[in-house]
Structure 1
Protein backbone atom coordinates (compact mmCIF):
# COMPACT_ATOMS: atom_id res chain seq x y z
CA UNK A 1 0.00 0.00 0.00
CA UNK A 2 1.33 3.41 -0.93
CA UNK A 3 1.15 6.00 1.84
CA UNK A 4 -0.13 9.32 0.47
CA UNK A 5 0.10 12.79 1.92
CA UNK A 6 -2.77 14.70 3.41
CA UNK A 7 -3.73 17.92 1.63
CA UNK A 8 -4.07 21.15 3.61
CA UNK A 9 -7.30 22.95 2.71
CA UNK A 10 -7.30 25.74 5.32
CA UNK A 11 -5.38 26.84 8.38
CA UNK A 12 -5.11 29.41 11.13
CA UNK A 13 -2.69 30.36 13.88
CA UNK A 14 -4.12 29.75 17.34
CA UNK A 15 -1.17 30.98 19.40
CA UNK A 16 2.21 32.55 18.69
CA UNK A 17 4.76 32.79 21.51
CA UNK A 18 8.49 33.25 22.00
CA UNK A 19 9.51 29.65 21.30
CA UNK A 20 6.60 28.13 19.43
CA UNK A 21 3.55 28.69 17.28
CA UNK A 22 0.39 26.59 17.49
CA UNK A 23 -1.75 26.32 14.40
CA UNK A 24 -4.78 24.32 13.30
CA UNK A 25 -5.02 23.08 9.74
CA UNK A 26 -7.99 21.55 7.98
CA UNK A 27 -6.83 18.58 5.88
CA UNK A 28 -8.25 16.24 3.30
CA UNK A 29 -7.18 12.60 3.12
CA UNK A 30 -6.54 10.84 -0.20
CA UNK A 31 -9.99 9.20 0.13
CA UNK A 32 -11.56 12.72 0.39
CA UNK A 33 -12.44 12.43 4.12
CA UNK A 34 -11.64 15.58 6.10
CA UNK A 35 -10.05 16.17 9.48
CA UNK A 36 -8.04 18.73 11.44
CA UNK A 37 -4.44 18.80 12.57
CA UNK A 38 -3.19 20.86 15.50
CA UNK A 39 0.54 21.46 15.09
CA UNK A 40 3.18 23.00 17.31
CA UNK A 41 5.79 24.74 15.15
CA UNK A 42 9.19 24.84 16.83
CA UNK A 43 12.58 25.96 15.49
CA UNK A 44 14.30 22.80 16.70
CA UNK A 45 17.22 22.21 18.95
CA UNK A 46 20.74 20.88 19.23
CA UNK A 47 22.16 18.64 21.92
CA UNK A 48 25.75 17.70 22.62
CA UNK A 49 27.36 14.46 23.75
CA UNK A 50 30.69 15.51 25.27
CA UNK A 51 33.35 13.71 27.27
CA UNK A 52 35.58 15.75 29.59
CA UNK A 53 39.32 15.29 30.17
CA UNK A 54 38.57 12.62 32.81
CA UNK A 55 36.62 10.55 30.27
CA UNK A 56 33.24 11.35 31.80
CA UNK A 57 30.17 12.40 29.84
CA UNK A 58 28.98 15.90 30.71
CA UNK A 59 25.40 15.71 31.93
CA UNK A 60 23.52 18.58 33.44
CA UNK A 61 20.75 18.60 36.00
CA UNK A 62 18.06 21.24 35.75
CA UNK A 63 14.47 21.81 36.76
CA UNK A 64 11.95 21.50 33.91
CA UNK A 65 8.69 23.27 34.64
CA UNK A 66 6.41 21.30 32.25
CA UNK A 67 7.24 17.99 34.00
CA UNK A 68 7.88 19.56 37.42
CA UNK A 69 11.11 17.62 37.95
CA UNK A 70 14.85 18.09 38.12
CA UNK A 71 16.13 15.89 35.30
CA UNK A 72 19.39 14.73 33.76
CA UNK A 73 20.14 15.97 30.25
CA UNK A 74 23.03 16.37 27.89
CA UNK A 75 23.74 20.06 27.11
CA UNK A 76 21.20 21.37 24.64
CA UNK A 77 19.36 24.39 23.42
CA UNK A 78 16.94 25.88 20.96
CA UNK A 79 18.07 26.86 17.50
CA UNK A 80 17.72 30.58 16.93
CA UNK A 81 16.33 31.90 13.63
CA UNK A 82 18.82 31.15 10.82
CA UNK A 83 21.43 29.89 13.33
CA UNK A 84 23.94 27.30 12.13
CA UNK A 85 23.42 23.97 13.92
CA UNK A 86 27.11 23.56 14.83
CA UNK A 87 27.28 27.15 16.12
CA UNK A 88 24.30 26.39 18.35
CA UNK A 89 25.99 23.21 19.63
CA UNK A 90 29.12 25.16 20.53
CA UNK A 91 27.15 27.96 22.18
CA UNK A 92 25.08 25.61 24.32
CA UNK A 93 28.06 23.45 25.34
CA UNK A 94 29.97 26.53 26.50
CA UNK A 95 27.01 28.23 28.19
CA UNK A 96 25.87 25.18 30.13
CA UNK A 97 29.13 23.34 30.92
CA UNK A 98 31.94 25.86 30.43
CA UNK A 99 33.64 23.76 27.75
CA UNK A 100 34.46 24.56 24.15
CA UNK A 101 35.22 21.91 21.55
CA UNK A 102 37.52 21.81 18.54
CA UNK A 103 35.32 19.41 16.60
CA UNK A 104 31.62 18.58 16.33
CA UNK A 105 30.35 15.48 14.54
CA UNK A 106 26.67 14.93 13.79
CA UNK A 107 25.40 11.65 15.24
CA UNK A 108 21.62 11.80 14.69
CA UNK A 109 18.63 13.94 14.04
CA UNK A 110 15.17 12.94 15.15
CA UNK A 111 11.58 14.13 15.58
CA UNK A 112 10.73 13.91 19.32
CA UNK A 113 6.95 14.22 18.79
CA UNK A 114 6.06 13.99 15.08
CA UNK A 115 2.38 13.46 15.83
CA UNK A 116 1.92 17.13 16.72
CA UNK A 117 5.20 19.04 16.42
CA UNK A 118 7.61 20.16 13.68
CA UNK A 119 10.57 20.09 16.09
CA UNK A 120 13.78 18.38 14.95
CA UNK A 121 16.57 17.70 17.45
CA UNK A 122 20.14 17.27 16.26
CA UNK A 123 22.62 15.33 18.40
CA UNK A 124 26.30 16.15 17.96
CA UNK A 125 29.39 14.67 19.53
CA UNK A 126 31.92 17.23 20.77
CA UNK A 127 35.61 16.35 20.72
CA UNK A 128 38.85 17.90 21.97
CA UNK A 129 37.24 19.79 24.83
CA UNK A 130 38.82 22.68 26.68
CA UNK A 131 37.38 24.34 29.80
CA UNK A 132 36.82 28.07 29.20
CA UNK A 133 34.20 28.95 31.84
CA UNK A 134 30.40 28.84 31.92
CA UNK A 135 28.12 31.55 30.58
CA UNK A 136 24.63 30.69 31.80
CA UNK A 137 21.68 32.65 30.46
CA UNK A 138 19.50 34.59 32.88
CA UNK A 139 17.10 32.20 34.60
CA UNK A 140 19.24 29.10 33.99
CA UNK A 141 20.08 27.14 37.12
CA UNK A 142 22.12 24.18 35.98
CA UNK A 143 24.40 21.76 37.78
CA UNK A 144 27.08 20.02 35.69
CA UNK A 145 27.34 16.34 36.66
CA UNK A 146 30.01 14.40 34.74
CA UNK A 147 29.27 10.66 34.67
CA UNK A 148 31.40 7.61 33.92
CA UNK A 149 30.18 4.79 31.69
CA UNK A 150 29.21 2.74 34.74
CA UNK A 151 27.36 5.66 36.32
CA UNK A 152 25.47 6.21 33.06
CA UNK A 153 24.47 2.52 32.99
CA UNK A 154 23.25 2.79 36.60
CA UNK A 155 21.20 5.91 35.79
CA UNK A 156 19.64 4.12 32.79
CA UNK A 157 18.82 0.97 34.75
CA UNK A 158 17.28 3.01 37.56
CA UNK A 159 15.08 4.95 35.11
CA UNK A 160 16.72 8.23 36.12
CA UNK A 161 17.26 9.48 32.55
CA UNK A 162 13.84 10.48 31.21
CA UNK A 163 14.79 13.04 28.56
CA UNK A 164 14.54 11.56 25.05
CA UNK A 165 17.60 13.25 23.52
CA UNK A 166 19.70 12.17 26.49
CA UNK A 167 18.42 8.60 26.35
CA UNK A 168 19.28 8.35 22.66
CA UNK A 169 22.76 9.85 23.12
CA UNK A 170 23.64 7.78 26.20
CA UNK A 171 22.46 4.49 24.71
CA UNK A 172 24.48 5.28 21.58
CA UNK A 173 27.54 6.19 23.66
CA UNK A 174 27.31 2.99 25.70
CA UNK A 175 26.84 0.89 22.58
CA UNK A 176 23.73 -0.72 24.06
CA UNK A 177 21.78 -0.86 20.83
Structure 2
Protein backbone atom coordinates (compact mmCIF):
# COMPACT_ATOMS: atom_id res chain seq x y z
CA UNK A 1 0.00 0.00 0.00
CA UNK A 2 1.26 3.48 -0.90
CA UNK A 3 1.91 5.93 1.92
CA UNK A 4 0.49 9.09 0.33
CA UNK A 5 2.33 11.33 2.81
CA UNK A 6 5.82 9.90 2.14
CA UNK A 7 7.91 11.78 -0.40
CA UNK A 8 9.29 9.28 -2.98
CA UNK A 9 11.83 11.85 -4.24
CA UNK A 10 15.27 12.20 -2.63
CA UNK A 11 17.02 15.56 -2.79
CA UNK A 12 20.79 15.25 -3.19
CA UNK A 13 21.52 18.98 -3.38
CA UNK A 14 19.89 22.24 -4.27
CA UNK A 15 21.11 25.57 -5.62
CA UNK A 16 19.19 28.84 -5.88
CA UNK A 17 19.91 30.00 -9.42
CA UNK A 18 17.73 33.10 -9.66
CA UNK A 19 15.90 35.47 -7.34
CA UNK A 20 13.96 38.72 -7.56
CA UNK A 21 11.43 40.41 -5.22
CA UNK A 22 8.60 38.07 -6.39
CA UNK A 23 10.11 34.65 -7.08
CA UNK A 24 13.15 32.45 -6.59
CA UNK A 25 14.19 29.56 -8.83
CA UNK A 26 16.02 26.55 -7.40
CA UNK A 27 17.64 23.65 -9.23
CA UNK A 28 17.55 20.38 -7.30
CA UNK A 29 19.73 17.34 -7.97
CA UNK A 30 17.40 14.43 -7.19
CA UNK A 31 16.80 10.72 -7.18
CA UNK A 32 13.37 10.31 -8.77
CA UNK A 33 10.71 7.81 -7.56
CA UNK A 34 12.04 5.22 -10.05
CA UNK A 35 15.56 5.43 -8.62
CA UNK A 36 17.15 7.47 -11.42
CA UNK A 37 19.26 10.57 -10.97
CA UNK A 38 17.93 13.80 -12.40
CA UNK A 39 17.28 17.47 -11.93
CA UNK A 40 14.16 19.30 -10.87
CA UNK A 41 13.62 23.04 -11.12
CA UNK A 42 11.19 24.74 -8.75
CA UNK A 43 9.80 28.25 -8.59
CA UNK A 44 9.00 29.67 -5.15
CA UNK A 45 6.51 32.52 -5.05
CA UNK A 46 7.06 35.11 -2.36
CA UNK A 47 3.40 36.18 -2.33
CA UNK A 48 0.00 34.53 -2.35
CA UNK A 49 -2.09 34.84 -5.50
CA UNK A 50 -5.39 36.52 -4.68
CA UNK A 51 -8.49 36.53 -6.90
CA UNK A 52 -11.83 38.25 -6.37
CA UNK A 53 -15.14 37.44 -8.04
CA UNK A 54 -17.29 40.54 -7.45
CA UNK A 55 -21.05 40.06 -7.87
CA UNK A 56 -23.82 42.61 -7.59
CA UNK A 57 -27.50 41.98 -6.80
CA UNK A 58 -28.35 41.79 -10.53
CA UNK A 59 -25.80 38.97 -11.11
CA UNK A 60 -23.26 41.21 -12.84
CA UNK A 61 -19.55 40.75 -12.37
CA UNK A 62 -16.41 42.68 -13.33
CA UNK A 63 -13.50 41.47 -15.39
CA UNK A 64 -10.15 43.14 -15.80
CA UNK A 65 -8.43 42.99 -19.16
CA UNK A 66 -4.70 43.39 -19.56
CA UNK A 67 -1.83 42.34 -21.74
CA UNK A 68 0.09 39.52 -20.05
CA UNK A 69 3.78 39.71 -20.86
CA UNK A 70 4.64 36.00 -20.23
CA UNK A 71 1.85 34.86 -22.57
CA UNK A 72 2.37 37.62 -25.15
CA UNK A 73 -1.40 38.07 -25.33
CA UNK A 74 -4.35 39.97 -23.88
CA UNK A 75 -6.18 38.30 -21.00
CA UNK A 76 -9.61 38.78 -19.39
CA UNK A 77 -9.56 37.93 -15.69
CA UNK A 78 -11.30 38.51 -12.41
CA UNK A 79 -9.52 41.20 -10.35
CA UNK A 80 -6.30 39.65 -9.03
CA UNK A 81 -3.06 40.45 -7.33
CA UNK A 82 -0.54 39.40 -4.75
CA UNK A 83 -0.70 39.25 -1.01
CA UNK A 84 2.36 39.05 1.19
CA UNK A 85 2.74 35.88 3.24
CA UNK A 86 1.99 36.78 6.84
CA UNK A 87 -0.60 39.39 5.81
CA UNK A 88 -4.31 38.60 6.09
CA UNK A 89 -5.25 37.43 2.56
CA UNK A 90 -8.68 39.06 2.89
CA UNK A 91 -7.02 42.46 3.42
CA UNK A 92 -4.97 41.83 0.27
CA UNK A 93 -8.17 40.94 -1.62
CA UNK A 94 -9.90 44.13 -0.48
CA UNK A 95 -6.88 46.20 -1.57
CA UNK A 96 -6.65 44.52 -4.99
CA UNK A 97 -10.38 44.86 -5.77
CA UNK A 98 -10.33 48.55 -4.87
CA UNK A 99 -7.04 49.23 -6.65
CA UNK A 100 -7.97 47.51 -9.92
CA UNK A 101 -11.68 48.35 -10.18
CA UNK A 102 -12.58 51.01 -7.62
CA UNK A 103 -15.02 48.54 -6.04
CA UNK A 104 -15.41 47.98 -2.29
CA UNK A 105 -17.47 45.16 -0.82
CA UNK A 106 -19.20 44.75 2.52
CA UNK A 107 -19.62 40.96 2.23
CA UNK A 108 -16.70 38.59 1.64
CA UNK A 109 -16.56 34.79 1.40
CA UNK A 110 -13.53 32.63 0.69
CA UNK A 111 -14.55 30.14 -2.00
CA UNK A 112 -11.32 28.36 -3.07
CA UNK A 113 -7.72 27.54 -2.17
CA UNK A 114 -5.68 26.19 -5.08
CA UNK A 115 -2.12 25.55 -6.25
CA UNK A 116 -1.65 27.28 -9.58
CA UNK A 117 1.05 25.14 -11.20
CA UNK A 118 2.11 22.45 -8.76
CA UNK A 119 4.45 20.64 -11.15
CA UNK A 120 6.96 23.51 -10.97
CA UNK A 121 5.85 25.98 -8.32
CA UNK A 122 4.52 26.32 -4.78
CA UNK A 123 2.21 29.25 -5.66
CA UNK A 124 -0.97 29.19 -3.58
CA UNK A 125 -4.05 31.03 -4.76
CA UNK A 126 -7.01 32.10 -2.65
CA UNK A 127 -10.26 33.20 -4.27
CA UNK A 128 -12.92 35.34 -2.63
CA UNK A 129 -16.50 36.15 -3.53
CA UNK A 130 -17.26 39.85 -2.91
CA UNK A 131 -20.85 41.12 -2.58
CA UNK A 132 -22.74 44.18 -1.36
CA UNK A 133 -20.64 46.40 -3.59
CA UNK A 134 -19.97 50.13 -3.68
CA UNK A 135 -18.14 51.97 -6.41
CA UNK A 136 -15.35 54.53 -6.63
CA UNK A 137 -12.26 55.24 -8.71
CA UNK A 138 -9.67 52.61 -9.56
CA UNK A 139 -5.95 53.26 -9.04
CA UNK A 140 -3.95 50.56 -10.82
CA UNK A 141 -0.22 50.14 -10.33
CA UNK A 142 2.22 51.65 -12.82
CA UNK A 143 2.75 48.21 -14.39
CA UNK A 144 -0.98 47.71 -15.04
CA UNK A 145 -2.76 49.05 -18.11
CA UNK A 146 -6.24 47.75 -17.32
CA UNK A 147 -9.62 47.68 -19.01
CA UNK A 148 -12.55 47.10 -16.66
CA UNK A 149 -15.61 45.33 -18.05
CA UNK A 150 -18.96 44.95 -16.27
CA UNK A 151 -21.00 42.05 -17.65
CA UNK A 152 -23.66 39.55 -16.58
CA UNK A 153 -22.09 36.62 -14.73
CA UNK A 154 -23.46 34.17 -17.31
CA UNK A 155 -21.50 35.98 -20.04
CA UNK A 156 -18.32 35.52 -17.99
CA UNK A 157 -19.24 31.84 -17.58
CA UNK A 158 -19.68 31.56 -21.37
CA UNK A 159 -16.25 33.18 -21.83
CA UNK A 160 -14.73 30.42 -19.65
CA UNK A 161 -16.59 27.68 -21.49
CA UNK A 162 -15.55 28.90 -24.96
CA UNK A 163 -11.92 29.51 -23.98
CA UNK A 164 -11.91 33.32 -23.94
CA UNK A 165 -10.95 33.29 -20.24
CA UNK A 166 -7.96 31.03 -19.56
CA UNK A 167 -6.48 32.50 -16.37
CA UNK A 168 -6.57 29.74 -13.73
CA UNK A 169 -7.90 31.82 -10.80
CA UNK A 170 -10.64 33.26 -13.02
CA UNK A 171 -11.64 29.88 -14.45
CA UNK A 172 -11.77 28.33 -10.97
CA UNK A 173 -13.74 31.24 -9.46
CA UNK A 174 -16.33 31.38 -12.22
CA UNK A 175 -16.82 27.62 -12.45
CA UNK A 176 -17.02 27.23 -8.67
CA UNK A 177 -19.62 30.02 -8.41
CA UNK A 178 -21.66 28.36 -11.17
CA UNK A 179 -21.43 24.85 -9.70
CA UNK A 180 -22.28 26.04 -6.17
CA UNK A 181 -25.12 28.17 -7.58
CA UNK A 182 -23.77 31.28 -5.84
CA UNK A 183 -25.31 33.59 -8.42
CA UNK A 184 -28.49 35.47 -7.35
The two structures have a TM-score, normalised by structure 2, of 0.86
Of 26, 32, 41, which aligns to 2:44?
A: 41
2:28 maps to 25
1:15 maps to 18
TM-aligned CA deviation for residue 131 of structure 1: 1.2
Encode CA deviations 1:88-126: one digit per residue, 9 max, x unaligned.
100100000101112321111111110110101111111
CA contact (8 A) 1:98 1:133 kept: yes
TM-aligned CA distance change 1:28 to 1:157, over 3 Å: closer
Structure 1 vs Structure 2 CA RMSD = 2.1
Gaps of 5+ in 2: none
CA contact (8 A) 2:48 2:85 kept: no
Encode CA deviations 1:63-103: one digit per residue, 9 max, x unaligned.
10111111110011012253221111001000001011123
Of 99, 111, 120, which aligns to 1:107?
A: 111
TM-aligned CA deviation for residue 12 of structure 1: 0.7
Within 1, Cα distance between the matches of 2:152 and 2:69? 28
Within 2, Cα distance between the matches of 1:13 and 1:169? 33
1:172 aligns with 2:161: no
Which shifted more, 52-61 or 165-174?
A: 52-61
